[in-house]
Structure 1
Amino acid sequence: MAYRADDDYDYLFKVVLIGDSGVGKSNLLSRFTRNEFSLESKSTIGVEFATRSIHVDDKVVKAQIWDTAGQERYHPLPPFVDHSSAIIFR
C-alpha cells in the first residue's frame, strides 16, 4: 500500500464530540485515532483535536475530531462548531 501525505485526501469531515463530563468523549477520540483506551477518566480542559484518515473504496476520507470539555449545558457551543461541522455527536 502506498502512503499518502497527511493533507492528501478526497473527503474531509469535521466531527465534534459534545456532552456531559465523564460520558466517554475523550475515550472515543483516543480509541478511534490512536487505538488507545483508558478506564481512568481525566477531564478535558478546553478542546482536544486529532485526525484519522481511512480508506473507503478507492477514496481517502479524513476525519478531524474535536473533543470538547464537558458541561456544555452551562455554556454555548464552542466557536469552532459552525456550519462547517459535518457531524456533531451530542
Structure 2
Amino acid sequence: MHDKQNHLYVGVDLHKQHHVAVIINCWQEKLGEITFENKPSVFSKFLLEMDKRTEKGVTLAFGLGDVGGYGRSLAQFLADHG
C-alpha cells in the first residue's frame, strides 16, 4: 500500500457563521462533506464525526482556506488536538 493511501485529506472552507469540510482520498474521490458552526464549542463534535469516518491507521491531513481570520479558532483547536 502506498503511503498516500494512509491519509484522508480534509479541505475546510471557512465562513463567518459556519465551515464546510470536504473529505477526499489520495485519488481525489470525494468521500463526504460536513457543515458545522464556527463555534469552538462545536469543534470537538466535528473531530468526533471525522473519527467516525476514518478507518484505523488512517491519518487526517487538514487544509484550511482562511478568509478574514474566520478559521483562526479552528486552526488553533486542531493544533492543540494533534
TM above 0.5, one fold? no
Query: Which protein is richer in helix relative to its size?
Result: 2
Higher relative contact order (CA 8 A, sep 6+): 1
TM-score, normalised to structure 1, is 0.30
TM-score, normalised to structure 2, is 0.31
**Computing the radius of gyration over CA atoms, which structure comes out larger, 1 or 2?**
1
